Amino acid sequence: MGELRNRMEQDLKLGGYSPSTQRIYLHYARDFARYHMRSPAEMGEEEIRAYLMDRIERQCSHETYRQVWAGLKFLYTKTLRRPVEVEHLPFRRKPPRLPQILSGTEVSALLDSVTNLEYRAVLMTMYGGGLRIAEACDLRPENIDSKRMLIQVLGKGSRERYTILPQRLLDFLREYWRQCRPKQWLFPAESRRGHVSPPTVRKVFRTALRAAHIAKRLSTHSLRHGFATHLLETGVDIKVIQELLGHKSLRTTTIYTHVTLEHLGHIRSPLDLLGTAEANVLG
């Protein structure tokens, strides 16, 4: 893509997009050009449709499809200034699925199976504070506020928020710090960015699942799901959970009300009310 790639990269930086989003959008823009063996500047809606259909036929995940669609939309709307090429393309609907949730026992078994101190600390942080994988990898030592028991998080869209710092996590991080002495990054590594990478953390997570004999289909994001669901089950208000997770909309957070077994178990069916004094409200 040459000059066009450089211009798109500049537009992404000017727009304040995170480094990970920049990499993803640029990757799919290059892949789109390779697929047709032409510059995106020479193509339009028909080529975009063909590329998106190819991704669907290859059964890519909804998340991957969303990234492809968003990357091409940015390319044509912002960099090429030809929004007409993408404005009529429908966005593929996500099939409604409830996330599988780890039980508390499974979380304990999972964490206990990670022998590497640093990666165990990463996974504990993700579950203990409800962090996304990239948010945990990007943490710096100064983001851990032990006086106020908070974790400062740089979330999606460079939005800052605070989440809780569990005492057990703080104790573990102190032991980790005494042994590893991290400086610039809380979880350093010999990588391009200088800290642990999401792909490596995902690999550790999958290995831990097998070691803990957990057969559920899970991802590292399941730790964040577990954090929210378990808070809801212990009575924490859903609007508080929304703030801790950094969700813009409460609608995003309410998915956890559908998977909270503790709450479902406390609901009484109207069948059980028939013939009782409480049934008066039913008429």
Catalytic residue among 5, 30, 49, 221: 221
Candidate list 55, 120, 224, 225, residue with the active-site label: 224
Alpha-carbon gap, residue 43 to 52, rounded angstroms = 14
Catalytic residue selected from 132, 195, 225, 230: 132
Q: What is the rounded distance in angstroms from the CA atom of residue 159 to the CA atom of residue 148?
A: 20
User: Any catalytic annotation for residue 203?
Assistant: no
- Is 174 an active-site residue? no
- CA end-to-end span of the chain: 70
Whether 82 is catalytic is no
Which of 60, 98, 145 has the alpha carbon at shortest distance from 264? 98
> Choosing from 51, 76, 119, 256, which is the catalytic residue?
256
Strands of 150-154's sheet in order across: 144-145, 150-154, 160-164
Q: What angle do CA 211, 180, 228 make, to 5 degrees?
A: 50
What is the spatial distance between Cα 115 and Cα 204, in angstroms, rounded to a whole number? 10
**221 included as an active-site residue:** yes
Token representation of residue 234: 């212990």
Can you say how many angstroms the Cα of residue 8 is from the centroid of all Cα atoms in its chain?
25
Catalytic residue among 55, 195, 225, 247: 247
* 161 is annotated as an active-site residue: no
Of 156, 161, 202, 263, the active-site residue reads 156
For residue 224, indicate whether it is catalytic. Answer: yes
> Which residues form the catalytic set?
132, 156, 221, 224, 247, 256
